[in-house]
Structure 1
Amino acid sequence: MTTPRIRALALCIFHHDGRILVNEALDPVTGKPFLRPIGGGIEFGETSAQAVLREVDEELGLSITDVRLLGTLENIFTYAGTPGHEIVQVYDAKFVDASVYELLHLDAQESDGAAFVAKWLALDSITGETPLVPAGLYELLKKVVLPDGCSVISNSAV
């Protein structure tokens, strides 16, 4: 059994036309679905911004630009029957290749080789049935104003 620890994560919000890019997954114990942005663990010796660049490259094989910190969340949860605790740096960025925004989904891969599909999901379709994680992310996105003066989540989407 491993000693419980707090895990440092960096996640990236990609948004376009009222949609965000997420991975839909299931808790293997409860069977409940959840949505999570692209990203993952921060490795020793790298900044959270460097982790976002690496994770997006590893998972999607794509380059990003305009990486900007949106905020920090603390997430205490249970997954697969095991308690977890994360400190999450949440970033916003843009894909260098603008054609990515026109795709319905992107084939992706976890660092352990497991394949998953990242899909563009309308923000107004997010419900408590399939929550956006980590806890507090949706609320953070409602507060964020982007450099162009727009919000990630418009008032009509909430």
Structure 2
Amino acid sequence: MRPGPRVDSVTAMPSIRPIALAVIRRGTALLVFEARDDVKGETFHRPLGGGIEFGERSEDALKREFREELDAEIVVKKLLGVLENVFTWQDRPGHEIVFLYAAEFADPSRYELDEMKILDDPATARWVDVRDFLDGGKILYPTGLTELLSADQ
């Protein structure tokens, strides 16, 4: 899930968090996890991935996150885009620079699973049809990803 605002260790000011997320598809479905913002009363979805550590390349961060979250190896393909995501979650401000990559599971048997338990979080990853996001039936974050997927169709 999204943490509260990242704070710079020197200035104690909120800072921008760089993250890398994977767009992994199974046919017309996208691998995402579901989360809830109780303050907004909103349920949303987001692709898997996470924070980029200092000195770590975004592609390497993505591979590490998948090992930590699903105990899975992925093959990172092309960079689909970079989005700036300014948001509030649970009434706390956040600001992310999001590197979005097309990726695939190294093990094809992963595509046979309808859901995968995220190991370091209470959430579960599931395949959701991209059309559910494109038609506005479900919310997909980060903001701008739906448009990127629409252009990619």
TM over 0.5, shorter chain? yes
Tell me, yes or no, if the aligned pair for 1:42 and 1:51 is still in contact at 8 Å: yes
TM-score (norm 2): 0.86
Quick one: which amino acid aligns to residue 17 of structure 1? G
Deviation string for 1:9-42 (max 9, x for gaps)?
1000100110000001001322310100000110
The one-letter code of the counterpart of 2:128 is L
Q: Does 1:84 align with 2:94?
A: yes
Is the CA contact 2:132–2:138 (under 8 Å) kept in the aligned structure 1?
Answer: no
Q: Structure 1: give runs of 5+ residues left out of the alignment.
A: 145-153
Query: What residue ranges of structure 2 are gaps of 5+ in the alignment?
Result: 8-12
Q: Using structure 1 for the length normalisation, give the TM-score.
A: 0.84
1-structure distance, mates of 2:16, 2:136: 25
Structure 1 residue 66, shift from structure 2 partner: 4.2
Q: How many correspondences in the alignment? A: 142
Q: In 2 relative to 1, CA 66–10 (structure 1 residues): closer, same or farther, beyond 3 Å?
A: closer
Q: CA RMSD in A?
A: 1.6
Which residue of structure 2 lines up, in the alignment, with residue 124 of structure 1? 131
Deviation string for 1:76-133 (max 9, x for gaps)? 11111011111100011110111111211111123xxx32100001111225453100
Q: Detail structure 1 runs of 4+ shifted over 6 Å in the superposition.
A: none
Could you say which residue in structure 1 is the equivalent of 2:10?
A: none
- Does structure 1 retain, via aligned residues, the 8 Å contact 2:76–2:101? no
Q: What percent identity do the matched residue pairs reach?
A: 44
Question: 8 Å contact 1:32–1:130 — kept in the other structure?
Answer: no
